[in-house]
Amino acid sequence: MESNGHISFLCLSIIFCCLCLDSVTAIDTISSSQLIKDPETISSNNGMFTLGFFSPQNTTNRYVCIWYKTRTLVVWIGNRNQPLKDSKGSFTISEDGNLVVLNATKHVIWSTNVSNISLKSNTSAQLQDSGNLVLIEDATGKIIWKSFLHPSNVFMPNMQLITNKRTGQKVEGTSWKSPSDPSFGSFSLSLERPKIPEIFIWEGTRPHWRSGPWNGIVFTGIPTMQSVYNLNGFSVLVEGDDSVQLSFSPANSDRLVLYMLDWKGKIQEMIWKNSKSQWEVLFTVQKTDCEVYGICGAYGRCSSQAKPICNCLRGFEPRNEEEWNRKNWTSGCVRKKALQCENSKVDSKSDGFLKLEKVKVPDLADWSSARSEEKCRSQCLENCNCTAYSYEAGIGCLSWSGNLIDIQQFSSGSIDLYIRVANSELDKERGATATFTIAAITVIVTLVIIVTCAYVMWKCLGRERKKRKLLLFSCCKGSAEQTNDNIIGELSQVKLQELLLFDAEKLANATDDFNYSNKLGEGGFGPVYKGKLENGQEIAVKRLSRASGQGLEEFMNEVVLISKLQHRNLVRLLGCCREGEENMLIYEYMPNKSLDTFIFDPPEHKFLDWKNRFSIIEGTARGLLYLHRDSRLRIIHRDLKASNILLDDELNPKISDFGLARIFGGHGDEDKTRRVVGTYGYMAPEYAMGGLFSEKSDVFSFGVLLLEIVSGRRNSSFYNNEQSMSLLEFAWNMWNEDNIVSLIDQYICDPVHEKDILRCVHIGLLCVQESARDRPNMATVISMLSSEIVNLPALSQPAYILKQNMLNSLSNEESQGLFSNNSATITDIQGR
């Protein structure tokens, strides 16, 4: 009965689909002989976008436009500066092959204006599903013009803002003149400063608003972008010093999100609400006057919370007190005390810096390659022209010479700025601090006494407290007690009761009393066994080593994290068990074990052909993207490696082992840990050496993994080798010698796939570049893998020097331990 129903439903849908296809396919294209007259239209295949004639409100002028659904939003306009005065216009492909708009007397009033169209072939225009109108050379299928490269005032998914100083190419948006006049208005939107990319809105030739520098994840001058970013996946591609492009592709492509530059010069993020059939504004920039470029003049700082909103930086005073009082701040501020280096010209180092926290850093920064904050600071100090510096891991060292303009103060997020002032200003600061200190000391002494007492009491109760903490995670009945331990507090919201509780005895039965023959492997913190429940379901049981108290933290970490995550490329936790001294996690069973047993073991790895390997690479990338961006939390895995990628029966990859993963605290993009954990060979240099971890350190591990998959060799397999090259070094050398073939696993080395494999190696090498800033994020990696991004950026050297440095920085004993067992997870190297 039921299956009959299914079948007839299927038939119906097929017929229905055929009908719709029939009725729409024919009309997304205009070929050379066709003339589309007002009010005729053509629509994209998916019915989302329509190209036709349109009149804005309060005017009878006609414009050839692309609009979304029911004329709710015009996303592109052709003849925006050449309106048709009547309804007798038309558009067609002209004799020269261009798409043209004609007026009543068939004069061309607008053209796509491509000058070098070959007359040997006809051309046609097609409105694609993305809303992109393209002009195609029929004979070759080559796209010779597209509306996405000539935007009006709307920025849509997969469109790009481009600035290329070398070729002079600039793709920018321009506002309407008014709501009823779409001709070029006074505001334009473009991507600027190719070295340190930022979005600018210009009013004519004057800057009107800027986004703050891109730090690899967000634009730092938009504190609210964090959430926007999470939804919409912005990526910036920097190519060399003079070319940069920005695009965005929402993780959830079901909902259309776009950005519009309105006629008053504001950017609005709009989302189409299907339920209400209307657009909703999610987010606007320039809510406050503070966002107007340079409103407080040079050395002024704007804070929307302050009254008045403009203030001089510390150590500065208004240049013109009178104007300043009249709330005309544009004249800005001047130094109260000249810098020492200006006076003596000798001793540039006698000045100091005042720290300004959480700001949109000033415009016109210079970027330097200094790798640490200290280096950045001393570089600035040595150059008397340097008025400020800032160091942000995602960007690097920024410095300013000359006036500091457009500083905006935020209450959270963003970057710290250090402003150069004369030493005497610093002394004043210190003086003030001193008075304060004396007063504070009395308070502090009292506090210390209280705290000491409290600490002693807490110590005494420690054992009690620890027990309670365990209870919370014991998956028992879900009657979680409240504790005020901060992390635990936050995590206690996990609905552990939703997890299935397993009985220790049942698990013992399922695994034949944890029989050695059922052992699947050794996870980070204990053995993993295969088991079969009474109902026949196969499971994998991870049993925390009973002996070591160590690993308990990781165990809890894993329970909490993974129970919140759901993705087809992450391994699924079925439940857990804690009874007496037993702590166990129960996962879905993966018949194909882990990736390392597949790609590195000679008899097995020939079974993985290129298609399989590519889908493993892609799946892993998607799982990682989910962790970084799409899940409600931002999670850094910190221990991505081949043995932590499990394969299901269809060889779908699933990321496992979240014992070391960390949730990212809301604002930061990078965190620092004293305890460097992870697996040598997969660790990014900044993490291994400095304990800095971020999405980009996971990207590094992903790059290593990718190269391992393509080459079929372990990164570590090289260490025992005479030349002691790492896989990365080997790959880089082969890349430069144009000899990638010797890197590629012989079993997949087929000329048919050569181009794809080469592309993958390129992406892998991009991910392992030395500087975290240069590495793409996972969203970009996925776009690259899927060839949405066609031109990959140039490569810089990967971080393979790491090994030497690490050898030097570790004692002999430690390094021996490290390299004899280099596929195991390191859990206790102390970072700096």
Tokens of 33: 């002989």
Distances, alpha carbon 60 to alpha carbons 83, 333, 488, 800, in Å: 10, 51, 64, 66
CB of 69 to ligand NAG, least distance (A): 20
60 in helix, strand or coil? coil
Q: Is 403 in the site for ligand NAG (CB under 6 A)?
A: no
In sequence order, the 6+-apart residues with CB closer than 8 A to the CB of 320 are 331
CB of 112 to ligand NAG, least distance (A): 8
CB of 108 to ligand NAG, least distance (A): 8
Is the CB of 116 or the CB of 479 nearer to ligand NAG?
116
Residue 683 phi/psi, 5-degree rounding, is -85, 135
Identify residues 81-100 at the interface with ligand NAG (CB under 6 A). 85
Is the CB of 80 or the CB of 567 nearer to ligand NAG?
80
CB of 21 to ligand NAG, least distance (A): 24
Q: Is 205 in the site for ligand NAG (CB under 6 A)?
A: no
Contact 647, 593 (CB under 8 A): yes
Burial class (CB in 10 A: 0-12, 13-18, 19+), 571: buried
Identify residues 112-131 at the interface with ligand NAG (CB under 6 A). 113, 116-118, 121-122
Find, among 157, 226, 221, the residue nearest to 629 by Cα: 226
Work out which of 105, 205, 479, 830 binds ligand NAG, going by CB under 6 A.
Answer: 105
Q: Say how far apart CA 581 and CA 73 lie, in whole Å.
A: 63
Could you tell me which stretch among 111-119, 502-510, 600-608, 819-827 binds ligand NAG (CB under 6 A)? 111-119
Is the CB of 57 or the CB of 442 nearer to ligand NAG?
57
Distances, alpha carbon 667 to alpha carbons 220, 222, 397, 633, 685, in Å: 11, 12, 20, 12, 23
Query: Active-site residue 596, yes or no?
Result: no
Identify residues 365-384 at the interface with ligand NAG (CB under 6 A). 383
Q: Is 479 in the site for ligand NAG (CB under 6 A)?
A: no
CB of 196 to ligand NAG, least distance (A): 19
Work out which of 160, 331, 368, 733 binds ligand NAG, going by CB under 6 A.
Answer: 331
Q: What is the radius of gyration, based on Cα positions, of the chain?
A: 31
Is the CB of 33 or the CB of 517 nearer to ligand NAG?
33
> Helix 754-767 to helix 610-625 angle, to the nearest 10 degrees?
30
Q: Is 55 in the site for ligand NAG (CB under 6 A)?
A: no
Q: Is 259 left (phi over 0), alpha (psi -120 to 50) or beta?
A: beta
Tokens of 545: 């080593």
Is the CB of 179 or the CB of 668 nearer to ligand NAG?
179
Identify residues 16-35 at the interface with ligand NAG (CB under 6 A). 32-33
How many H-runs (helices) and E-runs (strands) does the chain carry? 19, 48
Sign of torsion over alpha carbons 662, 667, 671, 673: negative
Report which residue type is found at 593: K
CB of 180 to ligand NAG, least distance (A): 5
Contact 518, 540 (CB under 8 A): no
Is the CB of 97 or the CB of 623 nearer to ligand NAG?
97
- Interface map 526-565 toward ligand NAG (x if CB under 6 A): ----------------------------------------
Is the CB of 118 or the CB of 343 nearer to ligand NAG?
118
Could you tell me which stretch among 325-333, 652-660, 716-724, 822-830 binds ligand NAG (CB under 6 A)? 325-333
Could you tell me which stretch among 102-110, 518-526, 612-620, 697-705 binds ligand NAG (CB under 6 A)? 102-110
Contact 237, 225 (CB under 8 A): no
CB of 97 to ligand NAG, least distance (A): 9
Is the CB of 103 or the CB of 175 nearer to ligand NAG?
103
Q: Is 104 in the site for ligand NAG (CB under 6 A)?
A: yes
Number of shown-chain residues binding ligand NAG (CB under 6 A): 27
363, 406, 630, 639: the active-site residue: 639
Could you tell me which stretch among 108-116, 224-232, 626-634, 673-681 binds ligand NAG (CB under 6 A)? 108-116
Bridge-partner residues for 52, per DSSP?
65
Is the CB of 141 or the CB of 603 nearer to ligand NAG?
141
Q: For strands 500-501 and 573-579, give the pairing.
A: parallel
CB of 347 to ligand NAG, least distance (A): 15
* Beta strand spans in 692-825 (E): 692-694
Contact 74, 17 (CB under 8 A): no
Distances, alpha carbon 646 to alpha carbons 511, 516, 561, 640, 796, in Å: 20, 21, 18, 11, 31
Q: For strands 826-830 and 366-368, give the pairing.
A: unpaired
Distances, alpha carbon 39 to alpha carbons 62, 90, 128, 369, in Å: 10, 9, 20, 58
Is the CB of 329 or the CB of 680 nearer to ligand NAG?
329
Q: Is 144 in the site for ligand NAG (CB under 6 A)?
A: yes
Alpha helices in 565-609 (DSSP H): 595-599, 602-605
* Beta strand spans in 152-229 (E): 154-155, 160-164, 169-171, 173-178, 181-192, 198-203, 206-210
CB of 329 to ligand NAG, least distance (A): 8
Is the CB of 101 or the CB of 573 nearer to ligand NAG?
101
CB of 585 to ligand NAG, least distance (A): 57
Q: Say how far apart CA 436 and CA 427 lie, in whole Å.
A: 14
Distance of CA 637 to the CA centre of its chain: 15
CB of 262 to ligand NAG, least distance (A): 12
Work out which of 34, 164, 226, 330 binds ligand NAG, going by CB under 6 A.
Answer: 330
Q: Say how far apart CA 576 and CA 501 lie, in whole Å.
A: 6
Tokens of 732: 């880089």
Could you tell me which stretch among 327-335, 570-578, 671-679, 743-751 binds ligand NAG (CB under 6 A)? 327-335
Is the CB of 111 or the CB of 717 nearer to ligand NAG?
111
Distance of CA 267 to the CA centre of its chain: 21
Q: Is 775 left (phi over 0), alpha (psi -120 to 50) or beta?
A: beta
Tokens of 193: 């400063």
Q: Is 385 in the site for ligand NAG (CB under 6 A)?
A: yes
Work out which of 43, 111, 733, 797 binds ligand NAG, going by CB under 6 A.
Answer: 111
Work out which of 44, 90, 92, 103 binds ligand NAG, going by CB under 6 A.
Answer: 103
CB of 321 to ligand NAG, least distance (A): 12
Contact 109, 125 (CB under 8 A): no
Could you tell me which stretch among 106-114, 193-201, 357-365, 553-561 binds ligand NAG (CB under 6 A)? 106-114
Q: Say how far apart CA 208 and CA 187 lie, in whole Å.
A: 8
In sequence order, the 6+-apart residues with CB closer than 8 A to the CB of 424 are 337
In sequence order, the 6+-apart residues with CB closer than 8 A to the CB of 657 are 523, 524, 558, 639, 644
CB of 161 to ligand NAG, least distance (A): 19
Work out which of 3, 4, 57, 723 binds ligand NAG, going by CB under 6 A.
Answer: 57
Is the CB of 116 or the CB of 275 nearer to ligand NAG?
116
Identify residues 149-188 at the interface with ligand NAG (CB under 6 A). 179-180
Could you tell me which stretch among 107-115, 424-432, 541-549, 805-813 binds ligand NAG (CB under 6 A)? 107-115
Q: Which residues here bind ligand NAG, judged by CB under 6 A?
A: 32-33, 57-58, 85, 103-105, 107, 109-111, 113, 116-118, 121-122, 144, 179-180, 323, 328, 330-331, 383, 385
Q: Which residues are catalytic?
A: 639
